[in-house]
Amino acid sequence: MKTLSERQQLILSFIEEFIEEHDYPPTVRDIQHGCGISSTSVVSYNLDRLKDSGALSRDSEVSRGLKLAGQKGGSSGPVSIDTVAVPLLGTIAAGSPFPMPENDTWSDLTGQELIDLPQAIIGTGDGLYALKVRGESMIDALICDGDLVIMEQTSTVRNGQMAAVRIKSDNSTTLKHYYAEGPRTRLEPANPLMEAMTFNSDDVEVLSRVVGVWRYLG
């Protein structure tokens, strides 16, 4: 049996993910653009090759007439270790109020979406929660749309740590590196190309500490 070309494997994995996302197969043109192929005929050609090799079946003259043959291969044998489940409490977006765990929220986590993180890198996971970032409002913090921010609810952070802080006079909330310097508090964006700002310490309220950021590019 002929081995699949790189492009054919790419197409195959694209189809798989497309179905995973949409619950229906892609069109020839979906594949074309998704895989950066210049012509629909090339897609059609490779689909026929894939059909020949038995990797999929194809209904002629039917839009989205694709069916993967070798569905999900059984997962090999992932090593099981301890993980910590962290509740996904909501999303942050520019302007929207900053979601915070509340007393009853903690006790009633039923139905909450949970994010599993390895204990090895997270620690005990006590008091941790996750927020999903919406929009590009946190570019300054090197955080973009879709990122998952892991936070620890605390009102005290050490200098240099990143925290969700509220500027009372603005009633705005941002993620910044925190530096208490006596009566003044300096907030420094993660992006070193951007300028820091200082406020009266009274004006700055620490909401949570940022423990980690997870960006998944599937």
What are the residues binding DNA (CB under 7 A)?
Answer: 2, 5, 7, 27-30, 37-42, 44-47, 49, 58, 60-65, 182-183
Decide if 176 is catalytic: yes
DSSP-assigned states of every residue in 127-180: TEEEEEEESSTTGGGT--TT-EEEEEE-S---TT-EEEEEETTTTEEEEEEEEE
If one asks whether residue 113 binds its own copies (CB under 8 A), the answer comes out as no
Between CA 113 and CA 120, with CA 118 as vertex, the angle to 5 degrees is 150
CB-based burial label for 146 (10 Å; 0-12, 13-18, 19+): middle
Place of tokens 């992006």: 191
172-181 and 162-167 as β-strands: parallel, antiparallel, unpaired?
antiparallel
- Cβ-contact 112, 132 below 8 angstroms: no
Task: Out of 172, 176, 201, 208, pick the active-site residue.
Answer: 176
Euclidean distance between CA atoms 209 and 144, whole angstroms: 18
Residues 4-63 that bind its own copies (CB under 8 A): 6-7, 9-10, 14, 20, 22-25, 27, 33-38, 59, 63
Q: Which is nearer to its own copies, 47 or 143 (CB)?
A: 143
Choices 45-53, 70-78, 97-105, 164-172 (CB under 8 A): range interacting with its own copies: 70-78
Decide which of its own copies, DNA, none touches 91; Cβ closer than 5 to 8 Å per partner kind: none
If one asks whether residue 158 binds its own copies (CB under 8 A), the answer comes out as yes
Task: Give the rounded distance of the alpha carbon of 203 from its chain centre.
Answer: 32
If one asks whether residue 80 binds its own copies (CB under 8 A), the answer comes out as yes
Instruction: Number of residues interacting with its own copies: please give it, by CB under 8 A.
Output: 81
Decide if 137 is catalytic: yes
Candidate residues 43, 128, 187, 211; the one interacting with its own copies per rule CB under 8 A: 211
* Residues marked as catalytic: 137, 176
